[in-house]
A and B are shown apart, each in its own frame.
Chain A
Amino acid sequence: MRPVTRFVLLLGWLGYAIIPWYLPDGMSLTEFGWLAGYPFGKAGSALALALSGTAPWLLPIGALLVLATLQLGRSNAASVGRILIGAGLAGLALFFAQGFAITLKGQGLPTLAALLGGGGADTAQGGMGFGAFLTVLSLLLLLCHGLAYRGICRGDIFTTSSIGIIVLLIGLFIFYPVITILRSALVDQAGAFAPAAFFERLFSASIWGLGCVTANTNCGVAWNTLILAVLTGVTTTLLGLACALLILRTGMPGKRVMRLLTVLPIITPPFVIGLALILLFGRSGLFSNLLYEWFAIPRSRWIYGLPGILLAQVLAFAPIAFLVLIGVVQGISPSLEEASQTLGAKRWATFSTVTWPLLKPGIANAFLLGFVESMADFGNPLVLGGNFEVLSTKIFFAVVGAAHNQGQAAVLAFVLLAFTLGAFWIQRRWLGGKSYTTVTGKGDSGLPTPLPRRVTWLAGLVIVPWVSLTAVIYLVILVGGFVKTMGRDYTPTLEHYKTGFSIDFSRGLYFDGSAWNSFFTTIKLAAISAPLTAIIGLLTAYLLTRQRFSGRHLLEFATMLSFAIPGTVLGVSYILAFNVPPIEITGTGLILVITFVFRNMPVGVRSGIAGLSQIDKSLDEASTTLRARSFTTLWRVVLPLLRPALVAALIYSFVRSMTAVSAVIFLVSAEYNLSTAYIVGRVEAGEFGLAIAYSSVLIVFMAAGIGLIQLGVGERKLGRRVAAPVAATPAPAPAIG
């Protein structure tokens, strides 16, 4: 048995014999009152509880740990492997069986509970805690190590363990909640199985109606969502591409400003853009007023509906496309373009035959991101929707509205999922099996080709209005916090900031502003979840692209599924799934961190896959033949070359955590309130000034945070020659302000 397996066993025993098995109420790391009665009682360890007869169903799990421990001294890899696989599998099965069979009184699976020694429907146990977590982790790793001992994945423990952990996490925090909510699609309000009701809901006219074509009514909510998502996807991709090309391939002035401007919308909570658009273009908006006074153009409500939502979404999501595409444009080896030019191709021919096809995977990814973001967006349709309903808002109102119809929400989620999965399938078809490796092991040399003039003009033409509108919007947001009431009373004031962020120095340092609590909570949780998201996302991308194992396509499908679940659905499903044992974590900060991680993981996966597909596989192989194991290869070769992807993943998950609304609005509690939920509350209460002031504080803070991350990770060293001053590109600007 290898040392690392011994360590895993030690973890298992820690979790089983020492650390409290359940998650008791009132647990904290500073006061230990909740530990009363240890090792028995609510905070008891599994070993004590099992032996004392309180929870006899935990005993077999311990027996399996003993079985694994008996292998300590043995060195025959194959037979130790077989026993570890057996013990791990049986342990996991028993663990989950008891977890789901024995929950609250009268719930769970009574027959299975009796079989495990639980004594029928009366037995109950609380939510699993840290002891249980360590034990299940240890059992899983024992299984994975056993598989590696048997030669699975070329005997690489790191690979099998990573796969195991990611499969478990995705299973617990993606599949289990989704199954929970889809289950409620198939039952009626009373909880009985009702497939007829399901089909009736699924094909109802409110979802698929074509009223806007045939008659003068509204179209079905599915069509609305689809049209909006396609428009948003196409527009954001084009904008992002234009911007990436202009920044990297031309001598355009004001590049730094461009970078700053394109990043601003990402660090803005999405509904804030909607809000600013209303303040600008609404019936009493700034522009509407001007147009009315100067040209007598009547005020209208055009901003409420498809045009408004589209505008807000494009402003909000184009920077994401930009971040994806700038990495891809950077990764295109200049020597390929130089090759094309030496073959007699003019700039335009080079662009259309070499550069463009190489950009295709990035473009597909960017479109997919825009498409799915639009479908999942909840803030903007909420603020700007008017009569234009989309799936996400409809799901939200089905759950929290007067109807409280979980079945309806589940059916709508089903439709949404079909759309996003469809988008993914189309993308795969388009890309096919082409190879896009452009960073090879041979040191790249050459200078990037400047853009053809036509493309430069086109790109510039698209970008200028976007940039100016963005500038105006941020002006409104920044100024809005310093005036009494936007649109009516422009008297300067600091009142809004005082309410939210005053600090009282009279009694030491006391943060007595009303916003501080949610602000600190948000920062803490976002800072915890960003690195976790990046690690899990990039690790998944690495496994998917660089390792061959059976079930790889299933894993890919699973990560894609997590991508496809809109925040509203995820939030509701987490409430349903994690409000009762075996995993009872609603109301804690943990559930928010988990939500952030699994909401943002797909971004890490996507940027990781895009980055990895540009790194020649022979680099990995060279590292392997020099005796580096998978982990070392990942750490020393792949990760340094993946820095742009890492930056994107870190920035994006940090910022998304801070600006997330849709998923967390169900999950915040009094103790763990988040900035966005607080701001939405202010908007509902009509305190626009405070809402906008808080938003600008968030924006400034996130800009600073991004700057720090950027500094910490640094730029990718590709060893390319820096272009001579004459050849258009001056020294590369730091990526993001």
Chain B
Amino acid sequence: MAKAGPASVEFRNVSMRYGSVTAVDNVNFTIEAGKLVTLLGPSGCGKTTTLRMIAGLEIASEGQILIGGKDVTKLSAADRDVSMVFQSYALFPHMSVLENAAYGPTVKGLGKEVAREMAMAKLALVGLKGFENRYPSELSGGQQQRVAVARALVLEPQVLLFDEPLSNLDAKLRRRVREEIRELQQNLNLTVAYVTHDQEEALAVSDRIIVMSNSRIAQEGSPRDLYERPANAFVADFIGDANLIDVTIKSVADGQASVAIGPATVPLPSRELQPGPAKVAIRPESLLLSKVQDASVLPGTIRKCAYLGNHLDIVVDTPVGDLFVIQHGHPEMLEQGAPVWLSFAKSGVTLIPPA
């Protein structure tokens, strides 16, 4: 069997409408071959619909979908070289593990022996050797998930899709399985589209993340891009924790803005914003407790301080409102009501347009 190898996925102005409801609204993106791209967003944002359009389980109302440069917009799921791991795993309850895994090559007519061999190889890959003759109901949740992955891998598809694959697993397992999925994707050089609503999961596994909100793409970029340079308040808030503060840009010169955060004045990359009102997103670990008192620090008092093992969670009352601060290392606990000064780290402080 000629292996097609991983292929890219491209959406061009794709929309999906059910009657008057728009589930996906004019979406454009490209998934490069061999990359793992996550569709991230709160429930109902259109990420699963987008994934199902890649699979061919939904046919787009408008726009073009290309896989490997070939237009597949109107192609049915059975005609696309795409496999999917379902949220519910969708294992066939009347078939054994082996029969489930061998289903793809069997229905393709590859012959019993070939199908069996292919299935056994992939089952071994996911560590399920020796479970071939069990039925799905006789497996644990994690094992069922592996069967689902093996079954999707058997045909070595151009694109592999995951629909919230970890949502039915416990937390410890989740971490392990997501690492395994990432490893598998990199070792086998697969193109993977991965849907999740868990931002930590997305940051951990992805080459790129597409954040969706209200049927549209809110921002697209590498995990670092999204975390450190969120394009808007939604992304800043959805990925990681962020303090969102109303600020005023006093002046802009050479791509550097002088920004008034309360009484403090801080230089920040302007990100093409003009002088006037704006917002700034500050990661909790980018607020530093400072000893120095000058024009670049923000005075405040401690409201709460909680000890969490490897860090402190601190809430500081400042002229711009309550700010959430994380102190790593092993600093001393701080007294409630004690005066502090907050300075701003080089990264993790980002100007974003006013909402």
Contact B76 A443 (CB under 8 A): no
Contact B108 A641 (CB under 8 A): no
Contact B78 A628 (CB under 8 A): yes
The verdict on B17 contacting chain A, using a C-beta distance below 8 Å, is no
Contact A624 B94 (CB under 8 A): no
Q: Knowing A442-B89, A625-B77, say if A154 contacts B56 (CB, 8 Å).
A: yes
Bound CA–CA A441/B94 (angstroms)? 10
The verdict on B11 contacting chain A, using a C-beta distance below 8 Å, is no
Q: Knowing A444-B137, A621-B57, A719-B136, say if A626 contacts B107 (CB, 8 Å).
A: yes
Contact of B90 among A444, A445, A621, A629 (CB under 8 A): A621
Min CB–CB distance B259 → chain A (angstroms) = 50
Q: What chain A residues lie within 8 Å of B141 (beta carbons)?
A: 442
Bound CA–CA A155/B94 (angstroms)? 28
Contact of A624 among B57, B89, B91 (CB under 8 A): B57
Q: What chain B residues lie within 8 Å of A434 (beta carbons)?
A: none
The verdict on A717 contacting chain B, using a C-beta distance below 8 Å, is yes
Contact of A637 among B56, B92, B108 (CB under 8 A): B92
Contact B137 A719 (CB under 8 A): yes
Contact of A441 among B75, B83, B89 (CB under 8 A): B89
Q: How many A-B residue pairs have CB under 8 A?
A: 116
Contact A636 B89 (CB under 8 A): no
CB closest residue in chain B, given A630: B78
Contact A442 B74 (CB under 8 A): no
CB closest residue in chain B, given A718: B93
Contact A621 B77 (CB under 8 A): yes
CB closest residue in chain A, given B154: A626
| A140-160 Cβ-contact flags toward B at 8 Å (1 or 0) | 000000000001001110000
| B131-173 Cβ-contact flags toward A at 8 Å (1 or 0) | 0000111110100100000011001000001000000100000
CB closest residue in chain B, given A439: B93
Contact A721 B93 (CB under 8 A): no
Q: What chain B residues lie within 8 Å of A156 (beta carbons)?
A: 76, 78
Contact of B108 among A440, A445, A618, A627 (CB under 8 A): A627
CB closest residue in chain A, given B55: A625
Contact A718 B94 (CB under 8 A): yes
Size category of the binding interface on chain A: 20 to 34
Q: What chain B residues lie within 8 Å of A443 (beta carbons)?
A: 91, 93, 135-139, 144
| A592-621 Cβ-contact flags toward B at 8 Å (1 or 0) | 000000000000000000000000101101
A residues 229-271 near B (Cβ < 8 Å) are none
| A431-443 Cβ-contact flags toward B at 8 Å (1 or 0) | 0000000011111
Bound CA–CA A624/B139 (angstroms)? 24
The verdict on A623 contacting chain B, using a C-beta distance below 8 Å, is yes
The verdict on A716 contacting chain B, using a C-beta distance below 8 Å, is yes
Contact of A616 among B84, B90, B155 (CB under 8 A): B90
The verdict on B45 contacting chain A, using a C-beta distance below 8 Å, is no
Size category of the binding interface on chain B: 35 or more
Contact B93 A626 (CB under 8 A): no
Q: What chain B residues lie within 8 Å of A636 (beta carbons)?
A: 103, 107
Contact A626 B74 (CB under 8 A): no
The verdict on B256 contacting chain A, using a C-beta distance below 8 Å, is no
B residues 38-96 near A (Cβ < 8 Å) are 55-57, 59, 74-79, 82-84, 86-94
The verdict on A640 contacting chain B, using a C-beta distance below 8 Å, is yes
Contact A618 B75 (CB under 8 A): no
Q: What chain A residues lie within 8 Å of B284 (beta carbons)?
A: none
Contact A155 B79 (CB under 8 A): yes
The verdict on A632 contacting chain B, using a C-beta distance below 8 Å, is yes
Bound CA–CA A641/B90 (angstroms)? 13
B residues 163-186 near A (Cβ < 8 Å) are 168
Q: What chain B residues lie within 8 Å of A719 (beta carbons)?
A: 93-94, 135-138
Min CB–CB distance B150 → chain A (angstroms) = 12
CB closest residue in chain A, given B76: A154
Contact B78 A441 (CB under 8 A): no
Contact of B107 among A439, A616, A627, A640 (CB under 8 A): A627
Bound CA–CA A169/B13 (angstroms)? 42
B residues 9-37 near A (Cβ < 8 Å) are none
CB closest residue in chain A, given B168: A442
User: Which one of A156, A621, A625, A629 has the highest number of Cβ atoms from chain B below 10 Å of its Cβ?
Assistant: A625
B residues 240-263 near A (Cβ < 8 Å) are none
The verdict on B230 contacting chain A, using a C-beta distance below 8 Å, is no
The verdict on B104 contacting chain A, using a C-beta distance below 8 Å, is yes
The verdict on A622 contacting chain B, using a C-beta distance below 8 Å, is yes
Q: Knowing A151-B74, A621-B57, A624-B77, say if A441 contacts B103 (CB, 8 Å).
A: no
Contact B104 A627 (CB under 8 A): yes
Contact A154 B55 (CB under 8 A): no
Bound CA–CA A723/B92 (angstroms)? 22
Contact A622 B79 (CB under 8 A): no
Bound CA–CA A564/B90 (angstroms)? 37
Q: Knowing A440-B88, A442-B89, A637-B92, say if A625 contacts B82 (CB, 8 Å).
A: yes
CB closest residue in chain A, given B79: A155
Bound CA–CA A720/B93 (angstroms)? 9
Min CB–CB distance A163 → chain B (angstroms) = 15
Bound CA–CA A625/B148 (angstroms)? 12
A residues 624-673 near B (Cβ < 8 Å) are 624-629, 632, 636-637, 640-641
Contact A628 B107 (CB under 8 A): yes
Q: What chain B residues lie within 8 Å of A619 (beta carbons)?
A: 90, 92
CB closest residue in chain B, given A619: B90
CB closest residue in chain A, given B99: A636
Contact B93 A624 (CB under 8 A): no
Contact of B86 among A441, A628, A718 (CB under 8 A): A441
Bound CA–CA A718/B93 (angstroms)? 6
CB closest residue in chain B, given A446: B137
Bound CA–CA A592/B179 (angstroms)? 64
Contact A621 B94 (CB under 8 A): no
CB closest residue in chain B, given A620: B90
Min CB–CB distance B119 → chain A (angstroms) = 12
A residues 121-168 near B (Cβ < 8 Å) are 151, 154-156
Q: What chain B residues lie within 8 Å of A640 (beta carbons)?
A: 94
Contact B144 A442 (CB under 8 A): yes
Min CB–CB distance B88 → chain A (angstroms) = 4
Min CB–CB distance B23 → chain A (angstroms) = 15
Min CB–CB distance A282 → chain B (angstroms) = 51
Min CB–CB distance A440 → chain B (angstroms) = 5
User: Which one of B93, B104, B137 has the highest number of Cβ atoms from chain A below 10 Å of its Cβ?
Assistant: B93
Given contacts A155-B74, A622-B91, 12 further A-B contacts (CB under 8 A): A442-B144, A442-B168, A444-B137, A619-B90, A622-B90, A625-B55, A625-B82, A626-B107, A632-B107, A637-B92, A641-B94, A716-B94
Which residues of A does B touch, CB under 8 Å?
A: 151, 154-156, 439-445, 616, 618-619, 621-629, 632, 636-637, 640-641, 716-721
What are 30 sample pairs from A and B whose C-beta atoms fall under 8 A apart?
A154-B59, A156-B78, A441-B86, A442-B88, A442-B91, A442-B136, A443-B93, A443-B135, A443-B136, A443-B138, A444-B137, A616-B88, A618-B86, A618-B87, A619-B90, A619-B92, A621-B90, A622-B92, A624-B57, A626-B103, A626-B152, A627-B78, A627-B107, A628-B103, A637-B92, A641-B93, A716-B94, A717-B135, A718-B94, A719-B94
Which 4 A-B pairs give the minimum distances between C-beta atoms? Answer: A443-B137, A441-B90, A443-B136, A719-B137
